[in-house]
Structure 1
Amino acid sequence: MDYQIGSEAQCDEHFTLCCRPLNDTNEAIRDQPIKEPAGKWGTTGICDAPYWMVDNLLQQIAQRHKDIDYVIVTGDFESHAIWDYARDTHQRMIRNVSQLIKSHFPDKQIYFALGNHEGVPLDSFAPSFTPEEFHMDWLYGTVADEWKPYIPADQDKTIRFNGCYMVKPWPGFRIISLNNGLGDSLNLFLFINQTDPDGTMSWLSDQLLDAEKAGDKVHIVAHIPPGTAEALEGWSLNYYKLAIRFENTIAAHIMAHVHSEEFYVIYEDPEDFNSRPVDVVFSAPCMTPYSRYNPTYRIYTIDGKYDGSTYQVIDFEEWIMNLTVANQPPYDPTVEQLYPSILKEYGFTANLPSEWSNMINQMKTDDTLFNQYMRNFYRRNVYPVCDAKCKASWLCQARQAHHSKKLCSDIPDASPPERDPKRGKWYSKKRGSMTEEQIRNSVTKFMNNPKRRPKGQCPI
C-alpha cells in the first residue's frame, strides 16, 4: 500500500494506479503539474487505501460496535499494483493485515476468505493437477498459519489443499469459507481443465449435505459473486444449482469483490425470472476507495443465536468515511452512517428474496428508487450519470447470479458495453480471436516449455 499524500490522484487512464510515489513510470505521471493531490485519508479515484486509513477505520468499528459477535473479511489484502506482485510480498501483506485486524478485535472471532488479488500473478490459483512449482502451498499454508486461531484443527488439511474451510461458531450454525478463485474466469490455469478444480464444488456440496442432515444453517463467505464477469459460467451455474437445492440450509451468501454495493437474486428456475425468488447473494462494499468510492463497512443483523434460529440476515446497515470531509481541515476521519437499515432504505417489509426481485422490477420505471440505489452503490451524492443503457445493465446484473440472457429478456436494451467493475466505467471491449481450446493449448505449451523463466520469476 504505497500511498503518498500529495501525489497525483487523477493520473491518465492508461496508468494503472494513482496516488503513488513518482518512482515508476507504470505508477504515476512524471514531470507534470499535480491536477489533484492525494488526500490524507485516501482519495476517491484510481488509488489504493492508505494503511493508516484502514487502521483508523478498524479502530472506529471496534469502538462503535462493541456488540458485534464476529467479523467477516472477504479477501483482497493486496494493493492494485498488480505488476509488482510476488509471493514473498503477498505473504508479508497477508500476515500484516491479518494481524492488524486481530489487534483491533482481540476478543472476537474473525472469519477470512481468499480474494482474487491473493493470487500471484493476479487471479492465479493453480489446481493440484498442475506441475508442483505452480502449486498454492505458499499461499494456503500462509493463511492456514495466520488464521489458525479461528479455524478448527480438523479443517487444517482442507485449507492447506484448496483454501477452503468450515467452522461452527454456535450449535446449529456453520460458516463455510469458499475459495472461488478456483472459479475465476481470469484464472488461466482453469483453461486447462475447469472440471471442479481440486474438488472445491464437490466439497461445498458435501458440506451443505452434512449441514442439512444435522439440521444446521449455513452462511457461505466467498469473494467473487456468481454471475459476475470474473466468475466462470460453469462455476456460477453449479453454485446456483446448489443454492436452489439447499435453500433451506443456506441462510446467507456473503461476498464482495466488485467494491460496490450490489445484489444478485437466485430464482427457482435458473432461466426464468418469473419463477420464485429463492435467495439473494449480497456483495458488500469495501474499505478501499478504489475506484471512486468512499470507504465503507457493513453490519449485518442475523437471526440467532437460540434453539431453532433461522440465522437469516434480518437487516443490515452501512457506515462510510466521507473522504471529501475527512481530507479538509480539521482532517477528521470520523465515519457517518450511510443508512441505518436496508429495510427502511428501500421500504422492504422483510429481507426476503421476493423483496429484492420486486425492487428490480420497480426500478425499471422508478428513477427515484434507482437513483437512490446508485447513491448507495457509490456511497456519495455525486456520482456518474447512468443513462438508459447503463441502467439496463444494472437491472440485468442484479438478476444474473449466473450468465443467462433469459433472466433479462424483459429489460429493454439489456446488452450494454461491458463494465469494468473496479473503475465503474463503461467501455467497448475488443474480444480476442483465440478460442478456449487455443487458450488451453497455449497454457499447456507454456507449462511444458523447459525454457520458461526460472521458478519464482513471473510464473505466467
Structure 2
Amino acid sequence: MPAINPWPETGNNTFFVLQITDIHLDFLYQPGSQSSNCNSPLCCRNGEGDAGYWGTRAVCDLPPHTLLAFLQDFKQYNISFVVWTGDNSPHDQWNYDIDQVLNYTKTITKWFKEYIDVPVFPVIGNHDCFPMDFFNPGHEQVLIGNLSEWWEGWLSPEEIQQFSINGFYSALEPNTGFRVIGINNILGDNLNIFLVPNNTDPSQMLEWLRNELYQAEKNNEPVIIIGHIPNGDKFLDSDWARHYRVIVNRFQNIIRGQFFGHTHYDEFTVVNSIIPNTKNPGVIHTAPAFTTHSYINPSFRLYEYDWETKHLVNIHQYRLPLYQVNQGPSEAVFEKAYDYKGLYKMNDMSPSSFELIAEQVLNDAGFAQKFYENWLSQYPDEAGQCDEKCQKSLYCRLTSDVFNEAVTCDVDNKSSYLLYRVLEAWQGPWEYISE
C-alpha cells in the first residue's frame, strides 16, 4: 500500500467538473396531464390534471424542453468537462423496443454535442440497456455499436476501440490532465441475469481497472472514476463492491474523485479501509437525478477542483425549484441550493470530513433533517420528517460501501432488503482479489 499524504492545502485557482445523471427523458410528457392515480406506473402523459410545464415531483419523468432549457444556459457555469453517468430512457422501459430505448441516448447525445463545447465523458446506466439491467458480456453489439458511433469525438479512436468491447474505457482529459476512467458496473448489477453462469469479474473489468490505475500511478496522473451504480447500493453485488473497495484502497493516492448516479438521491458513501484502525481511503459521490421521478426537483452538481493539487475543494449542488417555476410564465432557472463546505461547515473534502457528516446525521436531529431535505432534492416545506429510524438508515447508507454491510448496519429495515439478498445468493460468491 502506498504512503498517503495529508489532505493538501488548496489555493484560489480552481476549475469545475459538471455531473449530470439519471435524466430519464420522456418524449410523451404532457403538461396539464394527470400526475397521480393515472392507472399506469408512469404518469404525466394523458388525462387532465396538474402536471407542471417544467416537470412534476411525482412518478413522472422529465419533459424534453426542461433539459433543453438547461443546455441553453450551460456556458454560464464555466465548466472544464462533463461527466454523464447514465440512465436516459423513461421508467416504463418495458413498453419499448431496443431502438426506442437507444433513441433517448441518441437524442440526448445530439443535444449535448449541440450545446456543450467541452469534453463529455459518458457511461452506461441500467436503463440504457435492453432489456433494462441486462448486459450480456461479448454479445451487446447493437447497444455498444451505436454508442460507439454516437460518442465519437468525445472519445478518441483508441478509447472507442476499448469501449466497443464491453462498455468501459480510460481517457486522458486534455484540459486538466485528469485520467477519466468510465466503468460499466452493469457488470455487477444484481438484476443482470447474464452474470449467473459466471459472475466473477465479468469481462475482467476490475482487473483491467487495476491495470489502468497502475499505469496512471506510474505516469503520475490524477484519476476520476465514473460509473452508474454506486458501491453499497442494493442493486450492486456485494462481492463486486468488495473487490472495488480493495482497488480504491490500493490506489487512493491517485484517485481524486468517484462519481456515480442511479439512486436519484443527493448522497455519498465513504469507502472503508481494508486495514483495521487506518483512515478510510475515499468517498463515492452520488449525484441526485435530473429527472423528477421519486418526487424530486431536477438537479445537477459541480465539483470544484484545485488546479495545482487536483484535489476536490467543494461540491456545489444546483436544483430547479419546480413549485416556483411552474406557477406561471417563467424560465427554467436552476438555482444553487447549497455547497457542501458552506452548509455542512466542512474543513475540507477528505474522507474524514465526510465521516463527520455521517456522524452528525446519526446523532443530531436538526442536522439530519437538513441533510434529509437535500438528500431528497426537496425544500423544507416539501420533505417529511426524518425520525431516529430515518437517521440510522441514512447513516448506514453513508458509511457502508458494501450492500451486505449496509443491511447489517440498518437492522430496523432488514426485511426491506430481503429480495436483494436473495438476488445476491442467486448469483453466487466470487473469488477474492488480493491487494
Q: Shorter-normalised TM-score: what interval?
A: 0.7 to 0.9
Q: Corresponding residue for 1:120? A: 130
Matched residue type, 2:91: H
Unaligned residue ranges in structure 2 (runs of 5+): 1-25, 429-435
Q: Corresponding residue for 2:293? A: 290
SS in 2 for 1:229: coil
Q: Equivalents in 2 of 1:436, 1:231: separation in Å?
A: 9
Residues 202, 432 of structure 1: CA spacing in aligned structure 2 closer, same or farther, 3 A cutoff?
closer
Residues 430, 146 of structure 1: CA spacing in aligned structure 2 closer, same or farther, 3 A cutoff?
same
Q: Once the 2 structures are TM-superposed, how far is the Cα of residue 384 of structure 1 from its aligned partner?
A: 2.6
Number of equivalent positions: 399
Q: Once the 2 structures are TM-superposed, how far is the Cα of residue 157 of structure 1 from its aligned partner?
A: 2.1
| Residues 365-420 of structure 1, C-alpha deviations (whole Å, 9 max, x = no match) | 211111111121122222133332222111011111113538976xxxx22336xx
Residues 294, 437 of structure 1: CA spacing in aligned structure 2 closer, same or farther, 3 A cutoff?
closer
Q: Does 1:256 align with 2:261?
A: yes
Q: Once the 2 structures are TM-superposed, how far is the Cα of residue 361 of structure 1 from its aligned partner?
A: 1.4
Q: Higher mean Cα deviation, 216-225 or 371-380?
A: 371-380
Q: Does 1:269 align with 2:281?
A: no
Please list, as runs of the form range in 1=range in 2, the aligned pairs for 1:35-74 lying within 5 A after superposition: 36-60=49-73, 62-65=74-77, 67-74=78-85
Calculate the aligned-residue CA RMSD, in Å: 2.3
Q: Looking at CA atoms only, which structure, 1 or 2, has the larger radius of gyration?
A: 1
Q: Corresponding residue for 1:16? A: 41
Q: Corresponding residue for 1:160? A: 164
Q: Corresponding residue for 2:149? A: 145
Q: Does 1:240 align with 2:245?
A: yes
SS in 1 for 2:357: helix
Q: Equivalents in 2 of 1:314, 1:233: separation in Å?
A: 30
Q: Corresponding residue for 2:20? A: none
Higher relative contact order (CA 8 A, sep 6+): 2
SS in 1 for 2:173: strand
Matched residue type, 1:400: S
Q: Equivalents in 1 of 2:412, 2:95: separation in Å?
A: 33
Residues 198, 429 of structure 1: CA spacing in aligned structure 2 closer, same or farther, 3 A cutoff?
closer
Residues 181, 433 of structure 1: CA spacing in aligned structure 2 closer, same or farther, 3 A cutoff?
closer
Matched residue type, 1:83: W
Q: Corresponding residue for 1:394? A: 394
Residues 15, 385 of structure 1: CA spacing in aligned structure 2 closer, same or farther, 3 A cutoff?
farther
Unaligned residue ranges in structure 1 (runs of 5+): 23-33, 129-134, 419-426, 441-460
Asked whether the 8 Å contact 1:110–1:150 carries over to 2, the reply is: yes
Q: Higher mean Cα deviation, 43-52 or 361-370?
A: 361-370
Asked whether the 8 Å contact 1:399–1:408 carries over to 2, the reply is: no
Q: Higher mean Cα deviation, 3-12 or 205-214?
A: 3-12
Q: Once the 2 structures are TM-superposed, how far is the Cα of residue 90 of structure 1 from its aligned partner?
A: 2.1
Q: Corresponding residue for 1:76? A: 87
Asked whether the 8 Å contact 1:85–1:120 carries over to 2, the reply is: no
Asked whether the 8 Å contact 2:122–2:182 carries over to 1, the reply is: yes
Q: Equivalents in 2 of 1:328, 1:431: separation in Å?
A: 41
Q: What TM-score do the two structures reach when normalised by structure 1?
A: 0.82
Task: Choose from 92, 95, 98 the match for 2:109.
Answer: 98
Asked whether the 8 Å contact 1:277–1:357 carries over to 2, the reply is: no
Matched residue type, 2:133: D
SS in 2 for 1:251: strand
Task: Choose from 94, 97, 100 the match for 1:89.
Answer: 100
Q: Once the 2 structures are TM-superposed, how far is the Cα of residue 48 of structure 1 from its aligned partner?
A: 0.3
Q: Corresponding residue for 2:23? A: none
| Residues 181-204 of structure 1, C-alpha deviations (whole Å, 9 max, x = no match) | 111111111122111111111111
Q: Once the 2 structures are TM-superposed, how far is the Cα of residue 436 of structure 1 from its aligned partner?
A: 6.8
Task: Choose from 144, 167, 173 the match for 1:169.
Answer: 173
Matched residue type, 1:137: Q
Task: Choose from 108, 114, 118 the match for 2:118.
Answer: 108
Q: Once the 2 structures are TM-superposed, how far is the Cα of residue 42 of structure 1 from its aligned partner?
A: 0.5
Q: Equivalents in 1 of 2:102, 2:403: separation in Å?
A: 34
Identity of aligned residues (%): 29
| Residues 87-115 of structure 1, C-alpha deviations (whole Å, 9 max, x = no match) | 1112222111101111111x211111111
SS in 2 for 1:148: coil
